[in-house]
Amino acid sequence: MAQHTEKNEMIKEALQEMIEVAEYCIFFEKSNSVNWKGYAGCYGYPSAILLLSIVDSVGTLIEGGGDDTKIHFKILNNAEYYNLALSEEEIEIMRNGFRNKLSHNSHIMEGFAMIPGSDNYKILIKQNGTYFLNLKAFLSVSKKIVEKIIVQI
């Protein structure tokens, strides 16, 4: 963490830190750690919080909206950025079902789950009535967005 006098430099560093730590979290394997006996998978909760915070930050910069996260999350469909072609319902699921619940309540809504997944598939998958947040795909698209934003601002 550097000390910044310019907001844009602070944003660049914060986004870079978030993407690097999210990547570490997604590729960490709990089953290989003595601290996580009986658990498997990655650090899903912190990685999802970080990736969703990146959406929020980039959405604020590009879409505006002040404190209105509904406007920030429109960045997910912005053709020049995430370009995910999500429905309004899916954007709300990303914002409220995952982001808000994880950030403010340390859990996600019933009928929602996170998977390490793969980077060559959609970030939001609906299967048998459950919405899955595909962390590797979310990381992959987010890395591209962070690289783009760092150059732009």
Return all residues near 92 (Cβ < 8 A) that are at least 6 apart. 70, 73
Buried b (16+ CB within 10 A) or exposed e, 88-101: eebbebbbebbbee
Place of tokens 């809504």: 109
Per residue in 76-96, pLDDT (tens digit) is 999 999 999 999 999 999 999
CA distance 125 to 147: 25
Q: Is the pLDDT of residue 1 over 70?
A: no
pLDDT at 153: 86
Confidence of residue 36 (pLDDT cuts 50, 70, 90): very high
pLDDT of residue 66: 85
Mean pLDDT of the region 97-119: 93
Percent with pLDDT over 90 in the chain: 86
Q: Where are the domains of the chain?
A: 7-152
**What is the rounded distance in angstroms from the CA atom of residue 87 to the CA atom of residue 136?**
21
Q: Are 125 and 132 in contact (CB under 8 A)?
A: yes
3-state secondary structure of 133: strand
> Does residue 132 carry a pLDDT above 90?
yes
Instruction: Say what the pLDDT of residue 147 is.
Output: 96
